[in-house]
Structure 1
Amino acid sequence: MARQDAHPETRTRVDTGAGREEEAFAPRALRALEDGRPSVRLRAALEIGTTPHPSHVDGLIERCAVEPDFSVREMLTWALTRHAPARTLPGLLEALRAERAQARSQALHTLSKIGDRRAWPAITRELLSDADEEVARCAWRAAVVLVPEGEAAELAAVLVTRLGGGGRETRLSLSRALIALGDAAAPALRGATTDPDPEVRRHAIATERLARDPDAGFEFAIEEAKRIMVLGGDGAGGGESGGGEEE
């Protein structure tokens, strides 16, 4: 990136001693995160991540909660991953209790990228069952990354309670999370295929189908599940494979 194109708030600093330079840089870069132009905010987050410093972390987390642009949010998350987990985890864990849904979802997303299992106790059942679908989806992804060995089956038992709910993207996210848990999820998923609720049964059968043949695509798996239910099966058989849609 050419230096002459950089916004004044984030351009290269004149060295006046390492401590004073960093001191001056942090407020300027963090102020640039509040600029009305997404391109300026994106550059600011990139520069902060390129030159990580503990003084940046709180501002990055605060901005995650309100940033409207997806690309900038992704860069903010990347910038946070460039800092030491010991510095980022406390603020991210606090954000999981925030009233604003975006603060919770972005903190969960960032924790899944950091992958530090010390965050696992904060992935509560309340987050996994959050009324906001984006928060719940982020919680599922984070849980799959952070779950300790030996606890995946218990996590799967919680996740299957969400089968059949939400829209297409939410159902696909849940299926992917269960599939990512592998064999540990099989008993809970198998039990859900006989649930009294037909939506739960359909989603569970489709998830098993997708686990056996990831290339089939989610829509094809759902249609297969409907066919199996009409024929009175439970999805245990292999069934014919077909060229499904892209996920």
Structure 2
Amino acid sequence: MKLQHTLGGLEGLGPVWTETRVFVEEWEKGIFGIHTAMMALSPQLPLPKTPSVFRTIWTWADLRKGAESMNPFDYFKYRYYEKWLGGISGYFVANGYITQAELDAKTEEYYADPDKPLPTGGATQIDERVIQYLVDGDSPKRDVDPKPLFAKGDVVRVGNPPTVEHTRLPGFLRNHTGVIEEVYPGAYVYLCDTGPDGVGEAMACYCVRFDPEELWPGNAEKNFFIYADLYAAYLTAPAELASAA
């Protein structure tokens, strides 16, 4: 798995710098607005039909996939909204909204004249749909009731599924054992399929308790636990794992 998928518990990563400003540069507001409009216009949402050329699905998951599928050296080189820009641009090219040549030409056009006015426009109906989306949101909970595989108190083993673009499984939990602390009611998805990572159709989710000594033997503080909310796809019973091996 890629380095950017497994930062938790990594030693020697270096000092942590926290930026308190939501937007560091003015253009970042535009990127956030584009992403929000794409989510609001995504056709799978139960919102009124709205005239728009945007016809493909876009979710928070797609945004994260676009960033985390990057080469690790690029991932750590670029700032937060620069990764958003790259992921959104790649999505538009991959889905046929613009060609790479057209994107490159438009980029060079603004490099040559940075003060050139940006395009304006937008339909009232689109604005209204975006506002409704921001009010309603998009819940990952689904109206199905899968039978939970585990119960509170069960010992479970975290798997090590392959990841290509994005995962919801922290790297430091892989191949470790924990205890089911809570079984959440209902079923949940991750807004888009994560491929070989295993999260697709709606499934049960669990709160799993981990002993830090299990995660970092000989290098953990005492008398506390770590809790993680995990999809069923990431968990198996230790005996089943042993028999499968």
TM over 0.5: no
Greater strand content: 2
Compute the TM-score of the two structures, normalised by the length of structure 1: 0.23
Identify which of structures 1 and 2 has the higher relative contact order when contacts are C-alpha pairs closer than 8 Å and 6+ apart: 2
